[in-house]
Structures are given as C-alpha cells and as structure tokens.
Chains A and B, each alone.
Chain A
Amino acid sequence: MAVSYVPATFEEAVRIRRETGAVPVAGGTDLMVRYRSPAGTLPDFPWPVMFISGLKEMKGLFLEGVELVIKAGTELAVIEHSEIVHPVLREAVRQMAAPALRNLGTLSGNICNASPAGDAVCVLYALGAEVELTSSSRMRRMPIEHFITGPGRTVLKGDELMTAVRIPLHSESASFYRKVGTRKANALSKLSCTGFITVTENRIADMRLALGAVGPVVVRSAELESQCIGMDLNHFRNYKPDLRKQFAERVKPIDDQRSTAEYRKETTLNLIDEFFMLIEKELS
C-alpha cells in the first residue's frame, strides 16, 4: 500500500516532494481513476502520493505583466468562468468532461498527465504557454512543448512541483477551435485543433496551428507557421496546397479504442482546410 501525505502548506509539500518523491494528486480525476481498486479498498498507487487540493497557496489566477498566470491548483471550473482567460482556452475547458469533474480537475494536472489527447493542452501549445516548476532549491520555467516529451512523459524532476502555467496574452484577428469526440460530455476527444490568425494590412502577421491527438505529442510547427508571415491573399492561396501537404506529413495518428488513424488524419486535414478558409476570409 502506498504511503500518502496531506501537506498543510506549500513549503511542506515541497519538502515532502524532495524527501519522498511523492507524486502530487490535485483533482484526482486521472490518478484516482487510473489506480482505482474495488469498492471499499484503497487506490493502488505505485508510488507515494500527496494530496495538494487543500493548498490555498496553489490556487488562483491573475494577470502579471504580459502574462496570465494560472496557479497549478486552480480548478478547471474557475478557469472556465474567469474573464481574464483567453476565450478559446475557456471554450476548450468548457468542453472538457462534465461540471463535477471540472470542479475537481486542474490545468496543470492535465499537462503533467501529458496525454496527447488533452484538449486544453492543444490550446496551450497554440498560445505559447510556459510551465513553472518549483523545488526547494530553484524555480525554472519552460515552454510547454519542452516540458511534455511523449505520451505520459514530462521532464518534471523528482523534487519538483508544477506551480503555475504562464500564458502570454494573445489577441488575434480570428480564432478556430474544434474538438471531435463521440459525445459532448466526458468522452475523451478523437482529435482537437486550435488555430489563431492575425492579419495586419491584408497580410499575415501571425499564424498558429496546434493539432491534438494526432501524434505522441501535440503537433505545432514554428517552421511552417513562420513561412506564412507576410503573405497576402494571393500568395497564401498559391502556397496553401503545399502547406497542407507539409502539415499532413507531420500528422501521424494511431489507431486506438477512440478512433482510427485513418479517420483522425482525414478529419484533421479537413479541419486544417476549414482553418485555411478562415485565413483567406481574414485576408480578403
């Protein structure tokens, strides 16, 4: 049976983490399910755990300079209802799971879980979010795409806790978000797609496209995006088939219980086409 801790303060949580390597459990919406045992018995955690949802120091969200800071223990429902959060992130969170689960789950838990199908994570890639990691001796931050290295894998060290997600404020001319799943509530998505387009003087000033659940990690290509900067409508139209092909090469989904690789690829390309139509509309 795994040892479990309930730290009373953030300092205590950091100390327990350093001394025991206990895995933090915030909402429990993933870990309590993954390690569940028959009714009346304890979850079968393979490592020591600590329950951090009671830590007030880890809750809250606020603007700091050019960033929105969402502290790690902030529940999804709070993010969903906050007016300082980017509307596309709010929408992605609103479409996750169901109200009772959003009252428990956290964005940081979603990130640390590192599922390629995390819908909010796809939006965070597109917004260029960074994560803040804290241990007893240091604090560091890094872009989310450096933090997540594969399905369920991150570079979180054994003595670190994720303490916040930092999201640069972003305003775009138009945004695009689609989640494709079997039913609205609870079902994990088959795929998701987030796009942002900013146009100034009829040319692309900024274009971002993040694709979820079509590879081991969310797909975003700084290289392809930067090639679009400065394009006008004609230029983009001519370049579009080539761009679509290059995105297609980066989309490498798998078959699993939720969907097939073929469906995911085809549908993702359809969504890319839809996003390209939005870009053309913005350029016209």
Chain B
Amino acid sequence: MQHITFILNGEKQVVNADPSSRLLDILRDTLGMTAVKEGCGEGECGACSVLKDGKLVNSCIVPMGSVQGAEITTLEGLRDTAEGENIISAYSDSGAVQCGFCTPGMVMAAAALLRENPEPDEQEIREALSGNLCRCTGYNLLVKGVTLASERGKEKGIWQ
C-alpha cells in the first residue's frame, strides 16, 4: 500500500492504495464516483472513460501507480460546468441516451474531442467515439448529439 496523491475534479485527494489497483475501483469504491462504469474491464468499451491530465483514458486499465500527481476528471466534475451541461443537454435533446450505461463515458469522450476540436466533422466525431460502445442508439444519435453540442457550444462561447 502506498499514499497516492492526485487531483480529482479539482480537489486534492490522498488515497492509500496498492499501486497496481485500478483507477476505476478507487474512483467507484473508495471515492464514490459511480458515474464511472465498469463494462468490459479490458479497455474495449469506454464505459469507464475519464480524463487524465485532460486526455481521455480507460480507467479500468490505469493502475493507481500511474495516477500519482495526475489530474483526473470524471463526469461528476464535469456535469455542473457549462461545458458538461452543454454536452449533456445536447445528448438529451438528440435522443442520444437510452439505457444510459455508456452515457458518462460518451460525455467524457465528447468533452475530450470538443476541447481539442470544437467544430469536428462527422468522421472526426465517429473516430473520437470509436472506443466507446453503445448497444442502444446505433451511434447516429450520438453523432447528432455531439454535433449539436458543438453548434450550441460555439454560440455560447464555451471553448473560447
């Protein structure tokens, strides 16, 4: 066990964890960040997506040993911001949410994309979501959702 210090959603955290424990387990079980879902547990489905130092990662394959000093953002840290609300309402208005299990990961993937590229084309959106599986929507509604988030975000000046 080791003390691991990192920033979670803007607040400093010190957890006592084995460096090989998964970020996903620490987020859910120790810190109560239950928006982070475990789907496949092997980096294929994206349900556990979080931002690590601003980059999209699968928290199920990130060992705590890699989190020392890092900045982690989960949906809990994004949903009440203008950026998060914009994506969530765009998904909601586009019918991009059905069962909801993939949704937190899909929001994180969209946030990572739009920060780098606020006006992505369809191909870029599909590429950005390619590591996130959704078994309900058939993806078209998600692409529509990200497009809407991009358009509304531009009007609101979210990425300026």
Interface of A with B (CB < 8 Å)? 1-2, 4-6, 25, 27-29, 32-33, 36, 39-40, 42-43, 45, 49-51, 53-54, 77, 97-101, 103-104, 184-186
Q: How distant is B140 from chain A, measured CB to nearest CB, in Å?
A: 16
Known: A100-B49, A100-B56, A186-B44. A42 touches B66 (CB 8 A): no
20 additional A-B pairs beyond A25-B63, A27-B61, beta carbons within 8 Å, are A4-B20, A4-B63, A6-B4, A6-B19, A6-B65, A28-B61, A29-B61, A32-B61, A39-B41, A51-B20, A51-B63, A54-B69, A54-B70, A99-B130, A100-B57, A100-B58, A101-B58, A103-B55, A104-B62, A185-B130
Q: Tell me the bound Cα distance from A101 to B130 in angstroms.
A: 11
> What residues of B have a CB within 8 angstroms of the CB of A42 in the complex?
18, 20-21
A-B contact count (CB 8 A): 100
In the complex the two chains form, is B19's CB within 8 Å of A99's CB? no
5 contacts between A and B (CB under 8 A): A1-B18, A42-B18, A45-B20, A185-B130, A185-B131
Q: How distant is A127 from chain B, measured CB to nearest CB, in Å?
A: 25
A6: contacting residue among B42, B62, B68, B130, CB under 8 A:
B68
Among B16-66, those with CB < 8 Å from A are 18-22, 24-25, 29, 38, 41-44, 46, 49, 52, 55-58, 60-63, 65-66
> What residues of B have a CB within 8 angstroms of the CB of A28 in the complex?
61-63, 66
In the complex the two chains form, is B38's CB within 8 Å of A97's CB? no
> What residues of B have a CB within 8 angstroms of the CB of A50 in the complex?
65
Q: Tell me the bound Cα distance from A185 to B109 in angstroms.
A: 14
B131: contacting residue among A27, A32, A33, A101, CB under 8 A:
A101
In the complex the two chains form, is B109's CB within 8 Å of A100's CB? yes
In the complex the two chains form, is A36's CB within 8 Å of B42's CB? yes
Known: A33-B43, A36-B41, A99-B131. A54 touches B57 (CB 8 A): no
Chain A binding site: helix, strand, loop or mixed by DSSP?
Answer: loop
Q: Tell me the bound Cα distance from A6 to B69 in angstroms.
A: 12
Q: Tell me the bound Cα distance from A43 to B64 in angstroms.
A: 12
